[in-house]
Amino acid sequence: MSAVRPTHWPMSQFPVIDDCLHIGGMPLMQLAARVGQTPFYAYDRRLLDERVALLRNRLPSAIQLHYAVKANPMSAVTQHLANLVDGLDVASLGELSVALDTGMAPAEISFAGPGKRPPELTAAIAAGITINLESAGELETVARLGHGLGRQPRVAVRVNPDFELKASGMKMSGGPKPFGVDAEQVPVLLRRIGQLDLDFRGFHIFSGSQNLRAEALIDAHDRTFELALRLAVDAPAPVRMLNIGGGFGIPYFPGDTPLELEPVAANLDHWLPTVKEQLPEAHVVLELGRYLVGEAGIYVVEVVDRKVSRGHTFLVTNGGLHHHLAASGNFGQVVRKNYPVVVGNRVMGNEREIVSVVGPLCTPLDILADRMELAKADVGDLIVVFQSGAYGLTASPARFLSHPACVEVLV
Ligand SMILES: *Cc1c(COP(=O)(O)O)cnc(C)c1O
């Protein structure tokens, strides 16, 4: 019996007309001409609209949606999403400035992340956004800076839960962590908040990222609500915000299948009456990054050279891991897996071949596709990496080897 090789989930979000990928209603070659250079990232606003609409449609209407800006902080993308979601979550002063520029109400912006420095905290207090406290030390600093500014800081407690999100791409909780205050230390911290001049908003409990399994998210949500209800007993003021994190994944690799939203939504629906009864002033917030933007973006590079080395064909392109670290395999993952990739201007092609798509960097890790079947491509053809709207350009070592900068467009 021959094992069936897993394939990529079909990338049907961008139309293919006359064998050419279209984005923003334009054939890819035309878009490249209008951008003025390769490589580039392109994000599709129609897909952003559709993704938010899908979530609004499936999730209970009482759930508020926040965008985690670090997934893609391009200002046009953040602005577009700010008009569609209920709030923005930032992780630095730079992201805070992008978020405030959108006109989003400061009360709907929150700031999480360990190691926030005094200028960042001061800016957050002056802006009137919510600071998700990551430690007892940060709490004291925030209270002191608020006093100095004559403004009462808005704060929430980021909790490091006593459980983990199972089967998550990246575990962010459980065990010792730099993120959040250990659940068992939260009651003491809440009492301290009550002694200081602070506007307590609620809790932020984020347990992981890139999860494709509904059961794992349901399990995390169950434990998150149980933990929040337990911690709320010691809260110095009514809980007005309960941020249950995100973690919704998207299919990247062969064998990955999309997350099923229905069971996750049904479980949230099941919890909401209990939350309403026990925390009547609380808004439940889901903060999503990757799930909102990841599938709406492509990375586009141009073939600069074709070469055959000992029987293996390489398409050498002008882009690579310096723009798209994740697609290259994050500086060497244990088993490197390919993102979905096509030749954008000849998707099926007349001839097909097995090739590797590489970048110009002098490291064997600079790979965008390893031994993939693609349409036979020539110098000047455009290679497209799908699922590139999140954690792309700003999550890559852009300065590595000092090649020209990549550009981004929202179409
Ligand atoms: C990164 C991050 C997110 C977004 O995670 P995604 O997997 O992109 O949805 C949400 N909340 C916090 C606190 C984060 O650090």
**What digits encode the pLDDT tens for the residues 5-31?**
899 999 999 999 999 999 999 999 999
CATH topology of domain 105-288: TIM Barrel (3.20.20)
- Supply the pLDDT for residue 207: 81
At residue 1, does pLDDT exceed 60? no
Residue with the nearest Cα to atom 5 of ligand 1? 289
CA 320 to ligand 1 centroid distance, Å: 25
Q: How confident is the model at residue 399 (pLDDT cuts 50, 70, 90)?
A: very high
- Supply the pLDDT for residue 256: 97
Find out whether the beta carbon of 290 lies less than 6 Å from any atom of ligand 1.
Answer: yes
Alpha carbon distance, N-terminus to C-terminus of the chain: 47
Summarised one tens digit per residue, pLDDT across range 352-361 is 999 999 999 9
Q: Are strands 20-23 and 407-410 parallel, antiparallel or unpaired?
A: unpaired
How far is the C-alpha of 46 from the C-alpha of 86, rounded, in Å? 18
At residue 390, does pLDDT exceed 80? yes
Q: What is the mean pLDDT of the chain?
A: 95
Q: Which residues of 56-86 are buried (b: 16+ CB within 10 A; e: fewer)?
A: eeebeeebbbbbbbbbbbbeebbbbbbebbb
Per cent of the chain over pLDDT 90 is: 92
Our mutation pick for probing the ligand 1 site, out of 72, 89, 209, 259, counting the most ligand atoms within 8 A of Cβ, is: 209
- Supply the pLDDT for residue 166: 66
Find out whether the beta carbon of 95 lies less than 6 Å from any atom of ligand 1.
Answer: no
Main-chain phi, psi angles of 50, to 5 degrees: -65, -35
Among the residue ranges 169-183, 213-227, 317-331, the one predicted with the least confidence is 169-183
How far is the C-alpha of 148 from the C-alpha of 164, rounded, in Å? 38
| Tokens coding 163 | 């459980």
Q: Are strands 297-309 and 170-171 parallel, antiparallel or unpaired?
A: unpaired
- Supply the pLDDT for residue 208: 83
- Supply the pLDDT for residue 165: 66
Find out whether the beta carbon of 287 lies less than 6 Å from any atom of ligand 1.
Answer: yes
Which atom of ligand 1 is nearest the CA belonging to 390?
Answer: 8
CA 150 to ligand 1 centroid distance, Å: 31
CA 209 to ligand 1 centroid distance, Å: 6
| In the chain, domain spans | 16-43+294-410, 105-288
CATH class of 16-43+294-410: mainly beta
Q: Which residues of 316-354 are buried (b: 16+ CB within 10 A; e: fewer)?
A: bbbbbbbbbbbbbbeeeeeeeebbbbbbbbbbebeeeee
Q: Which residues pair with 299 in a beta bridge?
A: 41, 385
CA 91 to ligand 1 centroid distance, Å: 10
Residues 6+ apart with CB under 8 A from 330: none
Main-chain phi, psi angles of 121, to 5 degrees: -65, -40
Give the mean model confidence (pLDDT) for residues 79-90: 98
- Supply the pLDDT for residue 171: 55
356 or 170, greater pLDDT? 356
How far is the C-alpha of 124 from the C-alpha of 153, rounded, in Å? 8
Find out whether the beta carbon of 69 lies less than 6 Å from any atom of ligand 1.
Answer: no
Our mutation pick for probing the ligand 1 site, out of 70, 168, 210, 259, counting the most ligand atoms within 8 A of Cβ, is: 70
In the chain, the amino acid numbered 127 is A
Find out whether the beta carbon of 70 lies less than 6 Å from any atom of ligand 1.
Answer: yes
Find out whether the beta carbon of 210 lies less than 6 Å from any atom of ligand 1.
Answer: yes
Summarised one tens digit per residue, pLDDT across range 185-231 is 999 999 999 999 999 999 999 888 899 999 999 999 999 999 999 99
Our mutation pick for probing the ligand 1 site, out of 72, 287, 290, 391, counting the most ligand atoms within 8 A of Cβ, is: 287
- Supply the pLDDT for residue 5: 84
Summarised one tens digit per residue, pLDDT across range 245-272 is 999 999 999 999 999 999 999 999 999 9
How far is the C-alpha of 55 from the C-alpha of 66, rounded, in Å? 11
- Supply the pLDDT for residue 9: 97
Q: How confident is the model at residue 169 (pLDDT cuts 50, 70, 90)?
A: low
- Supply the pLDDT for residue 167: 58
Residue with the nearest Cα to atom 4 of ligand 1? 289
- Supply the pLDDT for residue 175: 84
At residue 405, does pLDDT exceed 90? yes
Our mutation pick for probing the ligand 1 site, out of 55, 72, 85, 89, counting the most ligand atoms within 8 A of Cβ, is: 89
Give the mean model confidence (pLDDT) for residues 28-50: 98
**Angle formed at CA 288 by CA 284 and CA 292, multiple of 5 degrees:** 130
Domains 16-43+294-410 and 105-288 share a fold: no
Residues 6+ apart with CB under 8 A from 297: 41, 42, 43, 44, 72, 387, 388, 389, 390, 392
274: left (phi over 0), alpha (psi -120 to 50) or beta: alpha
Residues 6+ apart with CB under 8 A from 319: 38, 39, 299, 300, 301, 302, 359, 368, 406
Residues 6+ apart with CB under 8 A from 57: none
Instruction: Report yes or no: 398 and 359 within 8 Å, Cβ to Cβ.
Output: no
CA 345 to ligand 1 centroid distance, Å: 34
At residue 174, does pLDDT exceed 90? no
Instruction: Report yes or no: 272 and 60 within 8 Å, Cβ to Cβ.
Output: yes
